[in-house]
Structure 1
Amino acid sequence: MSMKMKIEGAGDIERALGALARGTAKGVTRRAMKKALQPVARSAEGSPFVIAVTSKLARGQKGRARGDQGRSKVAMYVGPVQQDGSHAPHAHLIEFGTGDRYHESGKYVGAVMADPFMRPAWDANRERVLEILKREIWAEIEKTVARAARKAARG
């Protein structure tokens, strides 16, 4: 599941990020988004998977997320991983369920009922994510500016 959020009316944040170098601004945004998505990850912890917030995708997922890539874009993903941190390729079968399944011989082998864990976590926390993101992005911008000022003072 992919959800895009667009913050409108945040011109001050955009101008402050624009004043930073692109790499620095992306780091600021990535750190703020990682903190903002933590409530979604905590809310989905009752699932049979470990839930992680990351900017990385598995090799098979990258092709489907091409719209998330770009020089000026920052994308963070929250979702299931296995205990070793690798992606969980079967998680979507639990989240969305399956239809009736049959072998080639025609033998019926069952169906998996949907047991959503990410969608309810997102629905319960999406407004909170936006509020945390606004607060955290300002905090990260202020920390970055202070760090740059200290570095410039050292010479």
Structure 2
Amino acid sequence: MAMKFKMEGAGDIERALADLARGTAKGAVRRAMKKTLKPVAEAAEGLSGGKFKVAVTSKLTARQQRDARMDRGRSKLALYVGPVMPDGDDAPHAHLYEFGTAPRFHKETGKSVGAMPARPFMRPAWDANQAAMLETLKREIWAEIEKTVERARRKAERAAK
């Protein structure tokens, strides 16, 4: 499940980020986005009943990278929240758990192998946290910008000595 989240109208934040180097600004925004998305991941992990570990990451499988090709660019930053196996590998069966399956039958024997009811965990976690995420993101980005500016100031002081 892919959800787009675009923040507009935050002119002060955009101007402050524009004053930073692109790599520095992307790092600050990445850290802020991870902190903002962490409650979604924690809620989804709880709703999955311990079946999945849910991670906030920028790493995708090759197939997911092809699907998310438009999310990439020099000034774009994309993070994803999704289920992973305990060892950190992707969980290719998570969509079956989330959306369920219709009755399934073995091709050769015709034996019923059952149906799986839907047990949504990602969507309810997203819906529960979506309202507060924009304010949290703004607050976290400002905090990261202030920390970054303070680090740059201290670095300049050390270089001047």
* TM, length-normalised to structure 1: 0.94
**Shift of residue 100 of structure 1?**
2.6
CA deviation vs aligned residue, 1:47-102 (integer Å, no higher than 9, x gap):
11011111111223111111111111111111111111111111011011122323
User: CA shift at 1:123, angstroms?
Assistant: 0.2
Q: 1 CA distance for matches of 2:69 and 2:104?
A: 31
Alignment gaps of 5+ in structure 2: none
Contact 1:101–1:110 under 8 Å retained in 2 = yes
Are 2:94 and 1:91 equivalent residues in the alignment?
yes
Aligned residues: 155
Matched residue type, 2:119: D
Q: Name the CA distance, whole Å, in 1 between partners of 2:57 and 2:105.
A: 36
Aligned counterparts of 1:99 and 1:66: Cα–Cα separation in 2: 31
Percent identity for Structure 1 against Structure 2: 70
The runs of 5 or more residues in structure 1 that have no matched partner are none
Of 116, 123, 126 in structure 2, the residue corresponding to residue 119 of structure 1 is: 123
TM-score normalized with structure 2 length: 0.91
Q: 2: CA distance between counterparts of 1:83 and 1:41?
A: 14
What code does the residue aligned with 2:20 have?
Answer: L
Secondary structure of the 1:37 match is helix
Q: Does 1:138 align with 2:142?
A: yes
1:152 paired to 2:160: no
Larger displacement relative to structure 2 (31-40 or 8-17): 8-17
Instruction: Trace 1:4-153 onto structure 2 (pairs within 5 A).
Output: 4-46=4-46, 47=48, 48-105=51-108, 106-153=110-157
